[in-house]
Amino acid sequence: MQDDLSRYCCQNAECADHGKRGLDNLTVCGRYGEQKQHRLLYCRSCKARFSERKGTPLFGSQLTQDKAASLFQHLAERNGVRATARLVGVRPNTVVRYSRLAGGHARQLHDELVAFSPEHP
Ligand SMILES: [Zn+2]
């Protein structure tokens, strides 16, 4: 599979290319995870290495990608916090936290999460 990094950007706040996508400054320098499902990215501009998941709402979170994608989908469809929590099977507090992260971009985040999901064997 070809590595499409156009959706990613450098996560180093000191980097001149921080937060800019599609600059071709990123390369894949490794993989990690139980099934090597996550990529380690390298920024040519600042020589930083970071996880592809850093900077996404999922980084460091307890939710699986499927659950988070489902949560954002319900939010994007304007389901309330309680309804979303019930449908996804998480606590309402979790939904509130994620909706803050989404900042009104639930649809976009849902699409990105689906794009970020590891290929299924
Ligand atoms: Zn950088």
Instruction: Give pLDDT tens digits for 33-72.
Output: 888 888 889 999 999 888 887 756 565 566 777 888 888 8
Q: How far is the CA of 25 from the centre of ligand 1 (A)?
A: 7
Inter-residue contact 29 to 112 (CB < 8 Å): no
Handedness of CA 54, 17, 100, 72 (dihedral sign): negative
- Written as one letter, the residue type at 85 is A
Q: How far is the CA of 104 from the centre of ligand 1 (A)?
A: 27
User: pLDDT > 90: what percent of the chain?
Assistant: 18
* Average pLDDT along the chain: 80
pLDDT band for position 117 (cuts 50, 70, 90): low
Q: How far is the CA of 8 from the centre of ligand 1 (A)?
A: 11
The arithmetic mean of pLDDT across residues 22-31, rounded, is 89
Q: How far is the CA of 64 from the centre of ligand 1 (A)?
A: 27
Q: How far is the CA of 27 from the centre of ligand 1 (A)?
A: 11
Helix axes of 65-76 and 106-116: crossing angle, nearest 10 degrees: 150
